[in-house]
């Protein structure tokens, strides 16, 4: 199991996040850990760009 932090995104749910990143960019980041192979990393926390983040 892994976790992902999508970061601040400009969406209709958060209008003050106009300076946030593109939601599609975060979606690509969410797909990356979902498609990891069975022998990929587990127990990790990733940023939207795939960078591991310490717990």
The residue ranges of every structural domain in the chain are 3-47
Q: How many CB atoms lie within 10 A of CB 46?
A: 20
Report the alpha-carbon distance of residue 40 to residue 13 in Å, rounded.
Answer: 33
Q: What share of the chain is helix, strand, coil (3-state, %, to 5)?
A: 25, 20, 55
As to burial, measured by CB atoms within 10 angstroms (0-12 exposed, 13-18 middle, 19+ buried), residue 20 is: middle
What is the per-residue pLDDT across 1-55, written as a single tens digit (0 to 9) for each? Answer: 788 887 778 777 776 665 667 888 888 888 888 888 889 888 888 887 888 888 7
Global pTM value? 0.60
């Amino acid at each position: 199991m892994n976790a992902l932090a999508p970061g601040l995104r400009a969406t209709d749910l958060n209008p003050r996040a106009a300076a946030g990143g593109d939601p599609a960019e975060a979606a690509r980041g969410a797909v990356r850990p979902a498609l990891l192979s069975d022998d990929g990393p587990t127990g990790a926390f990733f940023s939207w760009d795939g960078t591991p983040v310490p717990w």
